[in-house]
Amino acid sequence: MTTYRSIQKHFMTFEQEEGVGARVRRSVGTMKQRMFSPFLMLDDFYVKHPAGFPDHPHHGQETITYVLNGMVAHEDFTGAKGVLGKGDLQFMTAGKGIVHSEIPVQMESGEACHGLQFWVDLPKDLKWCEPRYRNLRGDKIPVVRPNENLTVKVISGKSYGVDSVRDLAYTPIHMYHYLTNKAGTQWEQEFPKNFNVFMYVMKGKVSVGDQVFPEHTAVFFNTDGDAVKGEFATDDAQFAIMGGQILDQQTIQHGPFVETDRESLMKVFMNYQYGINGFERAKGWQSSIIHGITEKQVRENEAKGLYKLDHERD
């Protein structure tokens, strides 16, 4: 018999500045929810040239970027580069070290880039692995429609009998994008009991039990059940629901560097400062997109075959 998870907490997210001129609504990674193992951060971002996330480092974590509108260009100090369009995802494993740049493409329509970005902790034994990428293009995401009013994009995991693409992240993560066109549509999603689970309302209103949650609300669940269920409270509503395996380890974080003890964290700072142990290519590196990139340039680069991330999996 299925048991359903109860709500641990919920709150409305608010805009704040991040990167260079970008605006984000942050849920995980705030005073209201510092961490939620294995999740370190979730940003609902809106970014438009000249704003962006120029050259910056990471260590000991994975990032998951899901583009909902517009386009974002990516480049790192290994020479890997690419562009994510509407509906695309990138799973980036920073491992022992990466320096990269994430810059919105200047769209001819003037459209801003909108999406979600997660930071996910890596298990202790993988924090010093080699960096890698897994790209998932929007048209490759399995989609299931349990009824005429409900659509689920199965980004990672299994929903209504449909499996996702495998091996996208090292840390076990399940992620789903739920959409409806009719209020009153019910939904249900199973998760392993050793996963933390939270939901982010992207559009409209969603109810769980007798509580209704409006757009931009983050809802965190207890680990007291096998599944989460609810109902859409408005037409044309959407939410993302994520689960991740709880890591049995201490997490010490300072910005984009994540370790399991302070001594290791200090070592990472030294590595980055001196350009060693994974950061050798950081010295003097600057991305070619740091000052911006246009939609026309993207098309030209695609025609030249310049976009190919290392270890890319489409």
Given this model, what pLDDT does residue 199 score? 98
Q: What's the mean pLDDT in 194-211? A: 98
Q: Is residue 193 part of a domain?
A: yes
* DSSP, res 138: G
Q: Is residue 299 part of a domain?
A: no
Residue 311 has pLDDT above 70, yes or no: no
Q: Is residue 112 part of a domain?
A: yes
Q: Is residue 253 part of a domain?
A: no
Query: How many separate domains does the chain show?
Result: 1
Q: Is residue 282 part of a domain?
A: no
Instruction: Show binding-site residues for Fe cation.
Output: 56, 58, 100, 102
Residue 36 has pLDDT above 80, yes or no: yes
End-to-end CA distance of the chain: 38
pLDDT band at 308 (very low <50, low <70, confident <90, very high): low
Q: Is residue 263 part of a domain?
A: no
The whole model's pTM is what? Answer: 0.95
Residue-wise pLDDT tens digits, 236-289: 999 999 999 999 999 999 999 999 999 999 999 999 999 999 999 999 999 999
Q: What is the dihedral of CA 290, 80, 120, 117, to 10 degrees?
A: 50
Residue-wise pLDDT tens digits, 232-247: 999 999 999 999 999 9
Instruction: Show binding-site residues.
Output: 56, 58, 100, 102
**CA–CA distance, 65 with 84 (Å, rounded to integer):** 9
Q: Return the CATH number at 140.
A: 2.60.120.10
Bridge partners of residue 173, in order along the sequence: 244
Q: What's the mean pLDDT in 157-173? A: 93
- Which of these, 250, 215, 249, 254, lies nearest to 232 by C-alpha position? 215
Higher pLDDT, 135 or 123: 123
Given this model, what pLDDT does residue 313 score? 38
Q: Is residue 11 part of a domain?
A: yes
High-pLDDT (> 90) share of the chain, %? 88
Q: How far is CA 35 from the centre of its chain?
A: 14
Residue-wise pLDDT tens digits, 88-124: 999 999 999 999 999 999 999 999 999 999 999 999 9
Burial of 263 (0-12, 13-18, 19+ CB in 10 A): exposed
Residue 167 has pLDDT above 80, yes or no: no
Q: Is residue 38 part of a domain?
A: yes
E strands along 148-214, which residues? 150-156, 158-159, 162-163, 173-180, 186-190, 195-203, 205-208, 211-214
Higher pLDDT, 47 or 20: 47
Residue 306 has pLDDT above 80, yes or no: no
Phi, psi of 139 (to 5 degrees): -80, -5
- Its domain, for residue 222, covers 5-243
Q: Are 127 and 247 in contact (CB under 8 A)?
A: no
Given this model, what pLDDT does residue 101 score? 96
Residue 22 has pLDDT above 90, yes or no: no
Given this model, what pLDDT does residue 19 score? 81
Average pLDDT, the chain: 94
pLDDT band at 37 (very low <50, low <70, confident <90, very high): very high
Residue 314 has pLDDT above 60, yes or no: no
Compute the chain's Rg from CA coordinates: 19
